[in-house]
Chain A
């Protein structure tokens, strides 16, 4: 182990630019959501939470969809790069799922009068969090990179297929939630502010992915070195 070659990490390249873009978009989105549009007539100021609650939920969905696609790709091509992308995306997804639940809870207390209600989307989101925490825990319990990638991919696929069925079952079980915020139910300027925030969060996701992927590459270099040393 006399000469350690510096691990070849993917170049940071445009990452700072991405970070700046995400930051500007987030600031603009929050400013627009807080100052530009009027508060909701019925719910008042608290409704402004929508401008981060909905994008956070969108990001969670996007992350887990990426996990699913990368899991399928890994099982087909057996390229560890796909596994690293999946792992990065799952971590970001778990963080944003937790954030969605937290924001929803803050929104729920003043509007529904409770922190938690057994509403289908709320309940499904909580189950979603559990499924992907399970995914991350499986990763942490497997040592060998190929085995870990294979098992994680399987959990990523089975878990993703389960989500719509969970949603449907909980929907039949219970219903009490305003219909999803969509361009149809939100009028005019609200939509643009919401879309701006969705775009801002998506930029943030891409930036976080670039960063997290770099860490994943560094981690696998470290693992290789440890195996050589052992």
Chain B
């Protein structure tokens, strides 16, 4: 209960910061759309090719944009010793991780709410037939990304060259999420005649659960002084 309240407080604080500095959010949506345009230029204007690659391109755009937003998670706490302040509150420091994780998750979901329609138009995607499954996959994939992304962001934020360190650590670790999300998304978009989508969804769920437990458990070690 205490943990939930603290988590909620951190989440609320970070959301409030986002709401008051909307410019970074809109800039990020434009960045994500820009990535999709670059894919269009790289792949060519052929409708069939674009929609066949759609799932993968969408997730690369999410991963790149998500990367940028993760970097800010703990940077905002650098100012005026914010993190030291948070750490000094008595009680469970894991709430800091959970709150930041949910903030990242929410932020990315809102971003996707803008990005997916753009991708649907630009890449000629057809998510309508399996819309609930498609949304479920977006939720699971984004959660997995946030779980390990928030964790590594907390680890790298006071390293030198953190802009380089975060993707270097995060992208190899993300391979299962990326494979699961891309394959499941592609199947949800293009149809799934062999019924393979379940395997990928189970992979995403397993990854999310395993790393949520591991990261929550080990997080206090990250914050030690």
Q: Name B210's contact: one of A127, A161, A169 (CB within 8 Å).
A: A161
Q: Is B175's CB under 8 angstroms from A166's CB?
A: yes
Q: Name B180's contact: one of A127, A153, A169 (CB within 8 Å).
A: A169
Q: Is B218's CB under 8 angstroms from A137's CB?
A: no
**A131 CB within 8 Å of chain B:** yes
Tell me what chain B mostly uses at the interface: helix, strand, loop, or mixed: helix
Q: Name B199's contact: one of A138, A142, A162, A172 (CB within 8 Å).
A: A172
Q: Mark A170-197, 1 if CB is under 8 A from B, else 0.
A: 1011000000000000000000000000
Q: Is A166's CB under 8 angstroms from B176's CB?
A: yes
**A154 CB within 8 Å of chain B:** yes
Residues of B within 8 A of A133 (CB): 168
Residues of B within 8 A of A159 (CB): 172-173
Q: Mark B171-206, 1 if CB is under 8 A from A, else 0.
A: 111011001100100000000000000011001001
Residues of B within 8 A of A141 (CB): 159-161, 165
Q: Mark A121-159, 1 if CB is under 8 A from B, else 0.
A: 000000100110110011001100000001101110111
Q: Is A158's CB under 8 angstroms from B218's CB?
A: yes
**B221 CB within 8 Å of chain A:** yes
**B43 CB within 8 Å of chain A:** no
Of residues A130, A153, A158, A159, which shows the largest number of chain B Cβ atoms within 10 Å of its Cβ?
Answer: A158
Q: Name A127's contact: one of B175, B203, B221 (CB within 8 Å).
A: B175
Residues of A within 8 A of B151 (CB): 158
**A170 vs B165: C-alpha distance when bound (angstroms):** 24
**B118 CB within 8 Å of chain A:** no
Q: Mark B120-157, 1 if CB is under 8 A from A, else 0.
A: 00000000000000000000000000001001000110
**B224 CB within 8 Å of chain A:** yes
Residues of B within 8 A of A172 (CB): 179, 199-200, 203
Q: Is B207's CB under 8 angstroms from A165's CB?
A: yes
**B169 CB within 8 Å of chain A:** yes
Q: Which of chain A's residues has its CB closest to B171's CB? A: A130
Q: Is B172's CB under 8 angstroms from A130's CB?
A: yes
Whether A162 contacts B173 in the complex (CB less than 8 A), given A151-B155, A170-B179, comes out as yes
**A61 CB within 8 Å of chain B:** no
**A168 CB within 8 Å of chain B:** yes
**B19 CB within 8 Å of chain A:** no
Residues of A within 8 A of B199 (CB): 172
**A161 vs B212: C-alpha distance when bound (angstroms):** 12
**B5 CB within 8 Å of chain A:** no
Q: Is B159's CB under 8 angstroms from A173's CB?
A: no
**A206 CB within 8 Å of chain B:** no
Instruction: Return the 8 tightest CB-CB contacts between A and B, nearest first.
Output: A169-B176, A130-B172, A169-B179, A134-B169, A131-B172, A141-B159, A165-B176, A166-B175
Seed contacts A169-B203, A172-B200; 4 additional CB < 8 Å A-B pairs: A131-B172, A158-B148, A162-B176, A173-B179
